[in-house]
């Protein structure tokens, strides 16, 4: 069983955290792209906009002020294929520094996100993944999440 001393601190992300957040997001990708194929510059711009958005929930987990993971989410209306009733907390970005840290760092981020998204009016939380990270997927499954969809896309010329 985990004790409180082993958990990282979780706080709202600051603009000064962006470089560490982008670096963590790139670890899961290849060739400067994040897990969903997102370029580092695009990720930085997207995360900067979310950090500045007072309605977004952007958190970092830290050990001695070193960022070990982050979560970026916003509350919105349910959209297909998710459907359902009531606002949804969409976690579009969730990353940790090392795969073995999903329980410690990822768990702390999800715990704080649950309460923050509920305070913002969300009735459920959906975590999107870019696939390709079986450790993250197993962590989410074991954390009580249910797989609801897997999507593939093709560009149409």
Domain ranges of the chain: 10-142
Retrieve residue 118's tokens.
């509920």
Retrieve residue 151's tokens.
């999507």
Q: Which residues of the chain have pLDDT under 70?
A: 1-5, 28-37, 80-83, 151-153, 155
Q: What is the pLDDT of residue 95?
A: 94
Which CATH superfamily, name and number, covers 10-142?
A: Gcn5-related N-acetyltransferase (GNAT) (3.40.630.30)
User: Distance between CA atoms of 91 and 113, rounded to whole angstroms?
Assistant: 9
Query: Which letter, b or e, does each residue of 99-128 get, where b requires 16 or more Cβ atoms within 10 Å of its Cβ?
Result: eebbebbbbbbbebbeebbeeeebeebbbe
Closest CA to 71 of 105, 95, 39: 95
Q: What is the pLDDT of residue 126?
A: 92
């Amino acid at each position: 069983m985990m004790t409180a001393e082993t958990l990282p601190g979780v706080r709202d992300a600051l603009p000064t955290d962006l470089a560490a957040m982008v670096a963590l997001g790139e670890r899961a990708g290849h060739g400067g792209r994040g897990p969903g194929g997102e370029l580092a510059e695009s990720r930085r711009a997207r995360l900067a906009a979310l950090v500045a958005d007072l309605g977004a929930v952007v958190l970092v987990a830290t050990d001695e002020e070193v960022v070990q993971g982050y979560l970026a989410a916003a509350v919105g209306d349910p959209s297909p294929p998710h459907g359902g009733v009531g606002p949804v907390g969409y976690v579009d970005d969730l990353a940790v520094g090392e795969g073995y840290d999903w329980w410690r760092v990822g768990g702390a981020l999800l715990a704080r996100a649950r309460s923050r998204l509920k305070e913002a009016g969300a009735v459920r939380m959906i975590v999107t993944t870019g696939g390709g990270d079986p450790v993250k997927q197993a962590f989410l499954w074991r954390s009580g999440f249910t797989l609801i969809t897997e999507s593939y896309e093709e560009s149409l010329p």
